[in-house]
Amino acid sequence: MQPVMSVAEVEAFLAREFPQIHLDGPVYRVESLEPGVAVMRFTASERHLRPGGTVSGPAMMALADLAAYVVILGHIGPVALAVTTNLNINFLRKPAPGDLIATCRLMKLGKRLAVIDCAIAGEGEAELAAHATATYSVPPERG
């Protein structure tokens, strides 16, 4: 299960196809793309914070969804649209202030569905802030 795009190619694709995600500046960056795994860094801006300075739940859901998309995109290439069909997330503990790191693994990349495991933690923290699983419908005619 080898990536077919580079980090730079994925970031260029996201900027072109989903300009909205960068309306607050470069809050989402792809850190790495390895076989079966993508890592994304999230730098919260004001709108993503809750009282006390912790990242909001919806911001973590958006991060999980985007990082899951990235790991699929990086492995199937920019040929067609994958669409989220299900996302399940457990919020485990408030992250410390600072960047969040989302690590997404392909548990399955099938002909019709991709299923991703996504762990979110504060940078440098051992314990997870949230854990999500996401299912994407992937176009059968790719490749």
Q: Judged by CB, which is closer to a second copy: 61, or 96?
A: 61
Residue type, 38: A
Binding mask 20-39 for a second copy (x = CB under 8 A): x--x----------------
Q: Which of 8, 108, 123, 142 binds a second copy (CB under 8 A)?
A: 108
Region from 5-13, 71-79, 95-103, 112-120 binding a second copy, contact rule CB under 8 A = 112-120
96 binding a second copy? (CB under 8 A): no
CB atoms within 10 A of CB 135: 18
Give the span between the Cα atoms of 1 and 136, in whole angstroms.
Answer: 17
Contact range with a second copy by CB under 8 A, out of 2-10, 25-33, 46-54, 70-78: 46-54
- Identity of the residue, 5 or 138, whose beta carbon is nearer to a second copy in the bound complex: 138
Element at 120 (helix H, strand E): strand 113-122
CA angle (8 as vertex; 6, 12 as ends), nearest 5: 120
Among 26, 58, 79, 97, binds a second copy (CB under 8 A): 58
> Can you list the pairs that 12-15 forms with residues at least 24 positions away whose Cβ atoms lie under 8 Å?
13/73, 13/78, 14/66, 14/70
Question: Whose CA is closest to 68, among 20, 24, 122, 107?
Answer: 107
Which of 77, 91, 96, 98 is the binder for a second copy (CB under 8 A)? 91
**Which has the closest alpha carbon to 82: 11, 3, 9, 140?**
140
Q: Give contact residues for a second copy (rule: CB under 8 A).
A: 17-18, 20, 23, 46-51, 56-58, 61-62, 65-66, 83-93, 107-108, 110, 112-113, 115, 117, 127-128, 131, 133, 135, 137
